[in-house]
Structure 1
Amino acid sequence: MPTLLVLNSSPFVETSVSRGLTSEYVESWKTANPSGTVVFRDLTASSLKTIDAAWVGAAYTSKDARTAEQKEALATSETLLAELRAADEYVLGVPMHNFSVPAVLKLWIDQIARVNETFSYADGSPKGLLAGKKATFLVASGGAYDAGTVMASYNFVEPYLRTVFGFLGVTDTNFLSAGGASALMYGKIDRATFLQPHFETIRSQFVTA
């Protein structure tokens, strides 16, 4: 049975565009995978901390040599890594914050990007250890930052996430963007109307010939 890991990183709930997109993705995925398992991780409620010297020291200490304190320092990271390994597919709701990813998503990445866990240098070159996984990124932004737009060069979300996940071995990636969400804030369009075409795009990903 396939497993989908859902990661949300918006500080908003009911009004969040990215959470609306992940909810639609989950429903479509469940329809296509009726026997599958869905695991949710709300990064805004996960109390993730910045990594410090103790964390780094623990991560670079062999497992059988770690002290109780070092194991505790890595406890959250171990939990997040277990979720990653158990899932066959990931879907991430990503609101653009200051042209990049939300701070909580960066904290999560720092917790799971670990040598000999999600990547290695066994042969002297970096090798991703999460090969065979698939990731879909549902990106919401106030403005339009897609390729070909005036503000395209300001988009650091897609290149960053593509690079990080590719480094970890996840090369089967798909980005769906919902730009122009600021129109919702100014009452220029209602939420249902704005989301509808993006919902249709998500549903189309599950249509089989």
Structure 2
Amino acid sequence: MTDTSPRHILRVDASMRREGSHSRGLADRVVDRLTAQRPDTRVTVRDLADGSMRLVDETWIGANFTDPAQRSDDQKAALAFSDRLVAELRAADTIVITMPIYNFTIPASLKAWIDLVARARETFRYTEAGPEGLLTGKRAILVYVSGGVAAGSETDFATDYMKHVLKFIGITDVEIIDAGQLMFAEAEKLEAAHARIETLAA
């Protein structure tokens, strides 16, 4: 039987550049490819460059580790933004994440997003057998862009980390659109990334 249910994409943009950003441009093509195959797809965009991202602090930690039934109004308010980010993840079946490489790893904004969505009892839980991700049945597409670091190389500290984090919260179906080392062969690398995008199935 063909699955005709509506799809929901969450797009997370981590590039601090809006103009001339290769990762954003490639993500545009990814989303266009997926929505062309499924016109009923809903797309939610979380732009980490819009100034809304917050860092985990002591107040947030105290609220997060308080039993939900015992949280004060102030603690609920401290977690409200994180709750919205988690809800966006839960609602989506496909997550497209741009990964421009800054100084050999992911941008600070993307790390902040991870810290706000990797939450015990919300996106993972601890069991006698170890941690268990709760966001199963989802797919992630990582758009990897770097000037000089090749994906999968010994100086790539980003892709394995992102795959591990996603697996930790239950997302094991992870694909990578590789546009690494653009400083050395930009046209060739972008052409290869575009060709890879054209193979994506909705």
Same fold (TM over 0.5): yes
Rate the CA distance shift 1:201–1:9 in 2: closer, same or farther, 3 A: same
Q: CA-atom RMSD, angstroms?
A: 1.7
Which position in structure 1 is the counterpart of 2:198? 203
Taking the aligned partners of 1:136 and 1:46, their CA distance within structure 2 comes to 24
Residue of structure 1 equivalent to 2:163: 162
Quote the residue 2:175 is aligned against.
Answer: 174
Aligned match of 1:116: 121
CA distance in 2, matches of 1:180, 1:101: 15
Given that residues 24 and 202 in structure 1 are in contact (C-alpha distance below 8 angstroms), is that contact kept between their aligned partners in structure 2?
yes
d(CA) in 2 for partners of 1:206, 1:24: 13
User: Aligned ranges for residues 128-139 of structure 1 at < 5 Å?
Assistant: 128-139=133-144
| Deviation of the 1:14 alpha carbon | 2.0
Matches of 2:129 and 2:71, distance apart in 1: 25
The normalised TM-score by structure 2 is 0.92
User: 1:126 Cα shift?
Assistant: 0.6
Query: What is residue 154 of structure 2 aligned with on the other side?
Result: 153
Give the Å deviation of 1:197: 2.9
Q: Deviations over 1:9-40 (max 9, x none)?
A: 10111211100110000100101111110111
Say how many residue pairs are matched: 197
- Tell me how far 1:206 sits from its aligned partner: 2.7
Q: Which AA in structure 2 matches 1:168? A: I
What do the CA deviations read for 1:118-145 (whole angstroms, capped 9, x no partner)? 0001435210001111101010000141
Which residue among 71, 92, 97 is the counterpart of 1:66? 71
TM-score (norm 1): 0.89
Task: For residue 204 of structure 1, report the CA deviation from its aligned partner.
Answer: 1.2
Q: What runs of 5+ residues in structure 2 fail to find an aligned partner? A: 1-5
**Which runs of 5 or more residues in structure 1 are unaligned?**
none
Matched residue SS, 1:199? helix
The whole-number CA distance in structure 2 between the counterparts of 1:143 and 1:163 is: 23
